[in-house]
Amino acid sequence: MMSRVGVGEASTTRPVVVLVGAAGAGKGTQASILAAELGYRHLATGDLFRSALRDRTVLGEQARVYMERGDLVPDELAIGLVAEALADQSAAGGVILDGFPRTAAQARALEIILAAGGDQISRVVAIDVSEADLVARLSGRWSCPACGTPYHLVYDPPRQPGICNNDGTALTQREDDRVEVVRARLTKQIPPMREVIAHYRAADLLSVVDGSLPIDEVTAAIRAEVGA
Ligand code: AMP
C-alpha cells in the first residue's frame, strides 16, 4: 500500500505547491510569477544546482557531469538539496516547488521531509505541453546573465538581437538548452516524470493544466487549481 505520510490530509499548515512538467513546460516562469503574487518561496532545484555549479561547491562538482549530459542528478543529491532548503525558516510563508520531485523516489522522500517539518503537499499541478513544442521552446531560450530576464528567439525576442532590453548585457544560452542536449533531457526525464504524475494521481493530489496557453492564462489556471 502506498505511504500517505504527509499527503492528502486537510491542510492546516503553510501551503506547499508542487509544479510538475517537462523541461520547457514553463514551471520556472509560472513558479516565479506565483511566488511573487502569493508571497511564497520559489524553490527551483535546477537553479540551486546551477548556482552550486557556478560556485564550484562539492555538490556542484558532483552534479556537473549529469547536468552537462542532460541526465537527472542522482536522487540522493537532489533529495539532500531539498531537505536542506526546506529546513530553512525563510520558507515559512508557503513554498512552490519547481523541478522537484522528478522521480517517484524523490516524491516519496518529499513526503517524509515535509512531514518531519509538520508540512504536507497542498496541491500538485502538472503543466502539460507537447514534446514538439518543448523542443522548440527550449532550444530558442536565452537569458540575461546579469538580471535573469528570459527571452525566446522566436516567441519573445529582445528588441536588439542578442542584447538584454533592461541593461544591454549580451544574452547567454544555458549549456543544456542546446538542441542536442534538449532532446537528451526530454528522452531521459519524461519517463520518470510520468511516474511522478502517476504517484500524485493515485494520491488524489494532481491537477493538470494546459501549458500551451498564454502565460497569464496558465497562471490563472494554476491559481484556480491551488485555490489561491
Ligand atoms: P531545470 O532547470 O529544472 O531544467 O534543471 C536543470 C538540470 O538540473 C536538470 O536537467 C537535472 O540535471 C538537474 N536537476 C534539477 N532538478 C533535479 C531533480 N529534482 N532531480 C535530479 N536532477 C535535477
CA separation, residue 131 to residues 14, 175, 183, 195, 212 (Å): 34, 20, 9, 17, 11
Q: Is residue 82 lining ligand 1, measured as CB closer than 6 Å?
A: no
Catalytic residues: 27, 102, 141, 174, 185
Rounded-to-integer distance, Cα 151 and Cα 157, Å = 6
Rounded-to-integer distance, Cα 132 and Cα 152, Å = 16
Nearest to 66 by CA among 184, 164, 224: 184
Q: Is residue 80 lining ligand 1, measured as CB closer than 6 Å?
A: no
- At position 146, the amino acid (one-letter code) is A
Three-class SS state of 135:
helix
CB 221 within 8 A of CB 128: no
Which phi and psi (to 5°) does residue 17 adopt? -110, 135
> Pocket of ligand 1, candidates 102, 137, 190, 193: which has the most ligand atoms within 8 Å of its Cβ, to mutate?
102
Cell 522522500 belongs to 109
* pLDDT by residue, tens only, the chain of 228 residues: 344 444 444 445 789 999 999 988 999 999 999 999 999 999 999 999 999 999 999 999 999 999 988 899 999 999 999 998 888 765 568 999 999 999 999 999 999 999 988 899 999 999 999 988 998 888 899 999 999 999 999 889 999 999 999 999 999 998 888 888 888 889 999 999 999 999 999 999 999 999 999 999 999 999 999 987
Question: Which residue ranges form the domains of the chain, and what is each CATH number?
Answer: 16-129+190-223 (3.40.50.300)
